[in-house]
Structure 1
Amino acid sequence: MKQNVINAILEHKIIAIVRGVASPDILDTVEALKNGGIKLLEITFNQKDKNTLDNTKRLISMVTEKYSNEEICIGAGTVMNEQQVIAAHEAGAKYFISPNTNVNVIRKVNELGGVSIPGALTPTEAQIAYEAGADFVKLFPAGDLGPGYVKSVCAPLNHIPFLAVGGINASNYLEYMKTGIKGVGIGGNLVDLNAIANKDFEKLTKLALEYKQ
């Protein structure tokens, strides 16, 4: 099962980051992204929300109950502690993405058979994450430093499968994919919260299709 998830990430490459979408809109959002060819979707925890364990678990469950893993492979994002790993795992999340490297989180993900994707910015952080058991390392925030930096990190650390997150859009996506990364995470440039608020889910489909050109 774990290898199937890794293979899905390597094949489909684009993880849609769903942040700040409420339960009444979550299924329409996912369906719209799916119609645009998105197969990987990350639902994030909100660290400022005291009920984020229950709220995020519910959102993930709503999606995993409707879609098979082959239709939409669901992960959890902004995973900051072991409790969040457990909650997301119970809801059906298959991969666990963090903005930082927390060895305890990586170990818990591996213990539960999930795919671990901690965040790092420097070569030192990336190697620490990989040695701790990360399956991929998320370079974040990649957009602030640009594809040149990403390429410079990937070159000597070519044993580490990297994902780039932060500032990726339809205009620079292919440029980042040439740096040596295995995939990207895309948030607001794909999951448009204004469109969702206006119930314009067709716009999400159109945005997703821009990455499939």
Structure 2
Amino acid sequence: MQNKIIEEIIKEKLVVIVRGVESDKLISVAEAIYKGGIRFMEITYSADGSISDEETAENIKKLNEHFKGKMHIGAGTVLREKQVELTYNAGGEFIISPDTYEAVIKKTKELGMISMPGALTPSEIQSAVRYGADFVKLFPVTNLGAGYVKAVKAPLSHVKLLAVGGINLDNIDEYLEAGVCGFGLGTNIIDKNMVKNNDFDGITALAAKYVEAVK
């Protein structure tokens, strides 16, 4: 099952980051990106505690029950092992973090989920792989540019990199050419004003543009 999900991530190339969307709009937002062709979405935990971990896990569970396997749901901003366990119990399939934390990566793999920790330097990237990461989230990627990705990929060609942070329709091609196998996208698809105004068709259209861009 894990290998199948890894293959699907490489094929689809896009994981949409959902942060700060009210619980009562979550299904509508998820349906909107699904209609646009997105098949992977992450629901982020709240690092500042403004939303409880239990509520986030409940949202993951709610989405899983709604989509019944049609959409792959995972968690983002995972900083603690407890959050990994909550995600697993909610039916989550993957764990994404902003950092390279050995305990989180190992707990993720122990529970049979896909691990995508964040890293930036070659040492951090390779540490993540040693701990068991399936993908490494290169974050924040656009602060350094596609040239950095290409330079890192030269000695670390075995690592499956996801580019996250500042990716848009104008630069997505150069990062694909630099060697990343996928992207994490947030407000470029989950537009805050569109969410506020219930413009779910607009969100679908944005999602479709990015799906087309990575074909």
Q: Shorter chain as normaliser: what TM range?
A: over 0.9
- Using the TM superposition, give the Cα deviation of residue 50 of structure 1 relative to its aligned residue in structure 2, in angstroms: 5.4
Q: Is the 8 A contact 1:169 1:190 kept in 2?
A: no
Kindly report the root-mean-square deviation, in angstroms, between the aligned alpha carbons of the 2 structures.
Answer: 1.0
Gaps of 5+ in 1: none
The one-letter code matched in structure 2 to 1:109 is T
Verify: 1:166 aligned to 2:165, yes or no. Answer: yes
- Equivalence for 1:109: 108
Verify: 1:17 aligned to 2:40, yes or no. Answer: no
Moved over 2 A (4+): none
Residues 143-173 of structure 1 show CA distances to partners (whole Å, capped at 9, x for unaligned) of: 1111111111112100111111000112211
Which of 150-159 and 79-88 deviates more?
150-159
- Equivalence for 1:127: 126
Q: Is the 8 A contact 1:168 1:186 kept in 2?
A: yes
- Equivalence for 1:210: 209
Q: Equivalents in 1 of 2:26, 2:199: separation in Å?
A: 13
Q: What TM-score, normalized by structure 2, do the two folds share?
A: 0.96
After TM superposition, the structure 1 = structure 2 runs for residues 19-34 of structure 1, keeping only pairs within 5 Å, are 19-34=19-34
After TM superposition, the structure 1 = structure 2 runs for residues 78-157 of structure 1, keeping only pairs within 5 Å, are 78-157=77-156
Q: Equivalents in 1 of 2:120, 2:3: separation in Å?
A: 25
Q: Equivalents in 2 of 1:8, 1:67: separation in Å?
A: 17
Residues 3-40 of structure 1 show CA distances to partners (whole Å, capped at 9, x for unaligned) of: 12111111100000001111100000000000100011
Secondary structure of 1:212's match?
A: helix
Secondary structure of 2:89's match?
A: helix
Q: Is the 8 A contact 2:137 2:164 kept in 1?
A: yes
Q: Equivalents in 2 of 1:5, 1:167: separation in Å?
A: 25
**Number of positions where the alignment pairs a residue of Structure 1 with one of Structure 2:** 212
Q: Equivalents in 1 of 2:51, 2:143: separation in Å?
A: 31
- Using the TM superposition, give the Cα deviation of residue 68 of structure 1 relative to its aligned residue in structure 2, in angstroms: 2.6
- Check 1:29–1:108 CA distance in 2 against 1; reply closer, same or farther (3 A cut): same
Q: What TM-score, normalized by structure 1, do the two folds share?
A: 0.97
Gaps of 5+ in 2: none
The one-letter code matched in structure 2 to 1:10 is I
- Check 1:50–1:191 CA distance in 2 against 1; reply closer, same or farther (3 A cut): closer
Q: Equivalents in 2 of 1:151, 1:38: separation in Å?
A: 26
- Using the TM superposition, give the Cα deviation of residue 51 of structure 1 relative to its aligned residue in structure 2, in angstroms: 4.5
